[in-house]
Amino acid sequence: MPKVTCSLCGSAVEPRQMVAAQKLDNHTLALIKKDRPEWEGKRGVCNNCLEQYRAKKFLGYLEAEYEKISALEESLVSKLARRGRVAKLVNEEYEKQMTAGQRVADKVARFGGSWTFIFIFGGILFGWMGLNVWILAARPFDPYPFILLNLVLSTLAALQAPVIMMSQNRQAEKDRLEAKQDYEINLMAELEIRDLHDKMDALRYKQWHELWHMQQRQIELLEHLHAELSHPEQVTKEPEPFKLPEL
């Protein structure tokens, strides 16, 4: 069977090992024309040259993705490479770093937003007003319209509001940490799925590679057998021992 010449490397290969230029994707064609501007793209290329430019194409994908990566994603990739753990208990770690004042603020905010506080505070108000209107009606310490009570309520509200705001700010910070952890877990799961797909593609490509070379070997044996049967008077060269090429 006559051999043909690759339009890139110039090596002589069999026709079945050639790939027509019309069957190449646009990205691969662009890479070839970038390296070889004189290449016209009318003749085919061999499988070795095609594999080299496919590798360059995938390296270009990786380099483009690496330029877009953020500091968070870079740290996550390093954790993923070291098989580090991303999932953690955000609440426990955050509570370990809280100061005594922050713990008191959380307890005050938790108590101030409960029915227990409403009932207790309502009882104090009614008791205050009843004490000054009925029990101490002759000499009340805070007669109607309860100016001292209004002052106490205003002072309580002025102190309670910033304490509750501090607790809400810490809760918002804790929510941001949890959202960040969720993003890291989702991103890690995406990278793991990509890696799994790459492994499956590599395994499938390896199987195709082995099957293709086994088919080539079978064709060589059939050609040798055909030559022996067609021309028994001629001595045909025995095929070389089969060795599966490495990827």
Confidence (pLDDT) at 73: 60
User: Rounded to 10 degrees, what is the CA torsion of 23, 24, 25, 26?
Assistant: -110
Asked if 84 and 142 touch (Cβ cutoff 8 Å), the reply is no
- Non-local (6+) Cβ contacts of 191 within 8 A are 76, 77, 80
Please give the pLDDT value at position 74: 61
> What pLDDT score was predicted for residue 104?
82
19 bridge partner residues:
45
Q: Where are the alpha helices (DSSP H) in the chain?
A: 26-35, 47-68, 71-81, 90-96, 100-112, 115-130, 147-230
The pLDDT score that the predictor gives to residue 119 is 92
User: Cα 29 to chain center, whole Å?
Assistant: 30
Residue 57: predicted pLDDT: 72
Q: How many CB atoms lie within 10 A of CB 133?
A: 14
Quickly count: other Cβ atoms within 10 Å of residue 44's Cβ. 22
Q: How distant, in Å, are the alpha carbons of 118, 209, 220, 240 from that of 214?
A: 83, 9, 10, 14
- Per residue of the chain (247 residues), what is the pLDDT tens digit? 577 788 788 778 777 777 777 777 777 778 888 888 888 777 778 888 877 877 777 666 656 666 565 665 666 656 655 555 666 666 677 777 778 877 888 888 888 888 898 899 899 889 988 888 888 878 888 888 888 889 988 998 888 888 888 888 888 888 887 887 787 777 777 767 877 887 787 778 777 877 887 888 788 888 878 777 787 777 767 777 766 655 4
> Residue 245's closest CA among 219, 201, 214, 221?
214
Query: What's the pLDDT score for residue 247?
Result: 47
